[in-house]
Structure 1
Amino acid sequence: MSASIRAGDVLAGRYRMVDLLGETEGGWFWCAHDEVLHRPVAVHLLGADNDRATTLMDAARRAAVLDDRRNLRVLDADTTDSLAFVVNEWGQGESLDLVLAEEPMLPQQAAWVVAEVADTIARAHAAGVSHDHLVPEHVLLDEHGEVRIIGLAVDAALHGVPTMRPEEDVTHLASLLYACLTGRWPGPGASVVPAAPTEHDGTVLRPRQVRAGIPRPLDRICDEMLLGGQHSRSLGLGAMLGHRDEHDLTTPDGVRDALLEFLGDPGAQVPPEAGAGTARRGVVPVMPPVPAAEQTVAIAGDDLTARADAHPRPDDRAEPEVETGETPAVDPVEVPTEAGMPVFHDGDVDDVEWMRARAHKPAPPPEFEQPEERPLFAPEGENGAGWRHRTHTPPTPPRSDDYWPWDTGHPSSLTGSGFVPPVAEPVPGRTWMRLAWIVGIAALVLLAVVAAYQLGLGANDDPPPADDEIPAATPTGEPTTAVAATATDFDPEGDPPEEYPEDAPLAVDGDPATAWGTQTYAQQFGPGGLKSGVGLVLDLGGSQDVRRVRITVRGGDTAAQVYVTDGAPTDLSGLEPAGAGTGNDVITVDLDDVSGSHVVVWLTRVPLGADGFRGEVAEVEVLR
C-alpha cells in the first residue's frame, strides 16, 4: 500500500478507511471501520519514512497506559512497509469548537466541562503522559453528555507539535475555560474558534471584558493562568474572593479543585438573568444593577472593579492602575446609577456604543377591574313579588298544601306547566304479588326440565358405558407434534452474509448442551447498531402447519421474531413476523393459522457479555 490512502482501502487487512477527517503535512486522521470487531475507530496515519513516525509510535505506547473513562483509548499501533498508524477508540458526539460556534456556555457548564478535562489531564500527568495539543477540536461532548478527550499524545506527534510538555497542558486548560466562557480562543495553538480580542499591545482581554455576566472566580482563574494575574494582584482580588492558597493553578489538579470549589459554592453562582444570556452579534447580556450603597461608597478592590467592568465609559475602557493595599479615590458623581448595555461593533472598530437604561421606572400597569357583585339569591320583583312569577293564570291545583319553590302567593311549576302533579302512592301488597308470580314460573320450568330428562333416559335401553371404556380425548388446542427440520444461518445484512454457518445444525440436533452463536458486536441490534438482527432458517421439508416455536437461548435477555414462508428467504423485505417473544432461557412463540415450508428465527436483541453483545441458540423446536 502506498503512502497515499483513499476511502475504501483496507489497512493491515482489518481497518477499512471510511472518511478523511483531517490532514496535516505528511499525516492523515481517518474515520475507519474495524472489519474484525465491526465497530468504528479513529486512525492516525503517517508515512513510514516520515521523521515523525518514530515519535508517533512512542506517543501511542505512552498513551496506552492511561485508563480513564474520558480518554479515547489507543487500541492498536503498528508500522507497515509504507505507513505508520495508530488506532484509537471512536467517540460519538460533537466537538467543543462546534458547540461554541452556536453560543458560549453558561459559567456552570464551562466550569464543569473544564474540570472534567483537568481531572483526566491530572491522571495522565501522574501516568507520565501529556496531551500537548489540547485545543477545542480535541474535546468531545458525546451523545450521553459526557466529556471525551481525543488524541492524547498521539495528535501532537501527528501534527509535529513538541511533546512531553505538561506545563503546556495547564495553559491549554485555562484557554479552554476562556473559550467556553466567551466563545473566543486565546491560544496557544491553532483552532477554528475565533481568536480572543486583544489590547493595543497584544494582551488578551480578560473574559469579563469580552462578555458580561462571567463570575469573578472564573475570570480570576483565567487572569492568573493566561495573563499572570496582574489584574487580580493589582486590585487585591485574591483575598476578597476567598481564594485558597492550596489551589495551585500551575497543575491540572489545582485547576480542577478551583473549578469544583466554584461549582460547590452557592454564593459564587452567576445570577440567572446574567448567565443565561447569549452573546450573539457582539451584544453582551445586561448585568444586574449596582446596589445604591456600592454606588456612593468608594472602596478598594472588588467595588472598583465592579464599576470598571459593569459600567465602563465609552471613552475609557482601560482598567485603573491601583497598587495593592491602597484605597483609590473615586468620584461618586462619575459612577453610573443605572445599568446599561454595551454594544460591540463587528470588525476592527474599537468604539463601543451604550444603550442606556430608562431614566425613570415605567408606571405600573393598571389594576384589574373588579367584577360586579352578584347576589347569592334571586332579587325580589315589584311589590315584594319573587323574581320568577307566572305569566298566565294556572289551573286550580288539586291540593292546597303543594310546595312552590319561588313564591307562595302565585303557585307555578319549574317547567311552567301550571302546577305540580300529586305524587302517586304505591299500592300495598303489589311487590309481594309480583315476587310470587316469579317464583311460580321458575318452579314450572324446573319441573318441565326434570320430566324431559327422565323421559329421555327411559327411551335409551342401553346402559351407559363404564368409565374405563370411554377413550381419552386429546385436547385440540395444544400442539404436541414436533416437526423435523434442518437449520442454516441467516445474515442478510452481513458482509459477507454469514454468521457461523458451520454451527447452525447444533440448534436443531436435540442436544441443549450444544448451541449456535452469533458474532460479538460492539452495539446492540436495532436503529443504533450495525444490523437490525441475525438468525436461523429452518427447512421443514415441505409445507407444514406451524402452531408453536420454542427457542432455547443462553446468556440472558434475548428477543426474537418468527417468520413462516413458503420458500427459503434471502432477506426480510416484504415479510411480516408471524409472532415474537422474549426470555432469558426459553422463548415460546404461539402462532395462529400459519403454514409454510420454512421458519425464520430472527434475533432482534441479544445479551451483553464481557466483550460485547452476543446471542446463543441452544435448541429450536417447531410444533404443529
Structure 2
Amino acid sequence: MPMTNRPGDVLAGRYRLVDLLSESGAGRFWRAHDLVLERDVALHVIAEDDPRAPVLLDAARRSALVLDPHILRVLDADARDGLCYVVNEWGSGTSLDIMVAAGGPLGARTSAYLVGQVAAAIAVAHGAGVAHGRLNPESVLVDRAGAVRVIGLCVDAALHGAPASGPAADVTDLAGLLYTALTARWGGRSTSAVARAPQEHGRVLRPRQVRAGVPRTLDQICDELLNPYAAARERDPRALDTARGLADTLADFVGDPTGLPEALLARQVSRGDETVTFSAVPEFGVRDATGEQDAVPPPRPVEVPVPLLGTAAVAEADDEPAARPEPPADRATDPATDAATGAEPDPAPSAPAPAPEVPTEAGLPIFDDDGGVSWMGAPGAPAPPPPPFEDPPERPLFAPEPADGGPVRRPRPSAIAAAAADPSDFWPWDHTGTGTGVPVIGAPVAEEVPGRNWLRIAGGLIVALLLLVLVVVVVNLSRGRTVLGADDGGSTPSDRASSSTGADTGPARALTGLTVRDFDPQGDPPAEYPETVGLVIDGDPATGWRTSTYTQQFGPGGLKTGVGVVIDLGASRTVEEVDLQLTGQPTGVSLYLTDQDPRGIGDLTPVATADAGTRATLTPTASPTGAVTGRYVIVWLTSLPAVRDGFRGQIDEVVVRGS
C-alpha cells in the first residue's frame, strides 16, 4: 500500500487528511476534511490491489441504499491513484464501549431505549436487504445531542474481512448490545474490545446472574437470543428473532421515552479538548554589585492577570521604594500653591538614589484563636514575650480546721453501727465540709458498679442458650440423627423402618450413573430439544431442558396430552422419591415407572402426580411400603406454565433417590 497518505495530504483532490484514528491490517481509518463542503468526514483507505477492495466498494454501494437518521451514511466511494477509499458521515460523541468502561452499566430503561433505537435502524437496513455484519459496542455512538447513531453499516465488516452474514447475526449482536448496556460485558457474536460475557457449559449466563437488579423481561430477551434452541419457531412481525420485533418489544418495555436522551447525554465521556490558559509568571531583574537593578522587561499580556499577594513585601525585598500615587490632573503644581495649602510640594523627578545593601526581611504570620492574623517582626525586632500563664487557684488539701473559722466535722452518731451493718453505707461525717453545716440526708453511698446488672442478664441468657443447644443435641441423637440434625448416613424414615423390621432395602440416596433422553411420542417428529435434555441431570439448577412454546395447553383439547423426559437408571432399582426443580408455575407433572423402554404412556399407570411450583418431590405410592421398582423413570408434563406468547415448561434438575 502506498505510504504517501499522511496528515495534510489531499486525497482525490478533495479530502484533506487530518488525524489517523486506527489501522486494520493494511487499512487505515482517518478523520478528514471535505474541502468542497467544508465539513469533517470519516475516511476508510486501503490499497487498490487489496483483496478487500472490491468487497469494500460493493459494501459501500449497498450501505448507501439505506436512509435512516440513526445511521452514519456513506457519502462517497472510489478507487484511484492506487488507493481505494470510502467516505462516511462524521459523528462526534461517545461509543457504547467507552461509556460502560468509564461509568459502568446503564440503567434498565436507558439500556432498552439505546438498543431499541439501534434495532429500529437495523430493521430499516434489513428491509433494504442490507445487514451490518459487525455490530458491536464500538459501532454504537451517542452523539453530543443525545441521539443514537450506528457506525460502519456493511462497510466495517468488509474492511475487517468478516465473513458474509445475514439478519440473524445482527439480531444476535443486538442482544449482545443489550447485554453490554446492562452488565458492561459483551455477549454478541462479533469481536469487541469489551470483556466477553461469562459462560457455563457453553451457555452465556443470564444478565441477572452477572448483575443484580436486571428486569426479568430484558433478562429473558438476552437469554432467548444469545442461547437459541434448535427448533425453528413460527415467525411473526413482533418475533424476537427479527430486528423489528426486538425494537417493538423494547419500545413497549420503555414506554414514554421522555428524559432518556438526556440520560444518555449525561453519560458522555469528556475528551478534555478545551484549551487551558495559564497566567504569566512575573519576571524580576538581576541586581548588580552596586546594588542597582537592571531594567525589568514588561510582563507578557495574559488573558487572566495573576494577583500579587504582599505587594509591599515584594517591593521591600527588591529594595525599591513603593511608587507614589500620581497627582490629579487638575491639581496645581506650583510650589507657592502647595505652601499656601500646607501641602508638601512634590519633589522634582530625579533618578532614584541607590538603596543600601540590607538583608531581606520578611515577617511571619501569627494566626489568633479568634481568626485574626498578625505579623511577627523581622529577626532584628524581637517579638514580645507571650503573656504569663495564670496560676491555678489554690485548693486546701484538707478540710478547714475550727481555728480557720470552718465548721467542725463530727462523726454521725450511727456511723459506727451503720458501718458494722452495711459497709457500703459508711459515711463518718454529718456534712460535706462545705461550711453550710447542713447534715446530708441519705449520706453518699457507694453506688453499685455500672453495667453489673447487664452482665448478670447476659450471663443468664448464655446459660439458657447452652441448655437449649444441649436439649436439641439430645433430641437429635435420640432420633438417630447427627448432632446438627442431619440424617445419619443419608438414611430416611422408611430406611429406618425397614431396618427395624429386618428388611434390607439399603439407604435412600441420590442415584448416579443415569442417562436421559427427551420423550415426545405424540410429536412429529417425536423429538423435543434432544440437544439440551442432558442439562436436567447435570447437577446445575441454573441450566435446564425447555419445551417448545405451544399456543394451546396440553389436554384432550390440545395438540398433545403431554411431553417429558425418560431417565434410564441402568437396571431395575427401588425408587423412593423424585425431586424436581422447575421454571415457571404451575406445572402439571405425572411420574411413571417401568422396566420396559417406553414408547408411549397409553398402557402405563402413574405412580405419582402433582401440580408443582418451582420445586416438587414426588413419592411413588403404588406399594404399601411407598416404594416401587423399575428401570425407566418417566417425568411427564401434563400442563405447562403460561408465557408471553403461549405455554412453555422447563425442567432444570431431576434427582432420583432410592437404592
TM-score (norm 1): 0.41
Q: Which structure has the larger Rg?
A: 2
TM-score (norm 2): 0.39
Work out which structure has the larger RCO, using CA pairs closer than 8 Å and 6 or more positions apart in sequence. Answer: 1
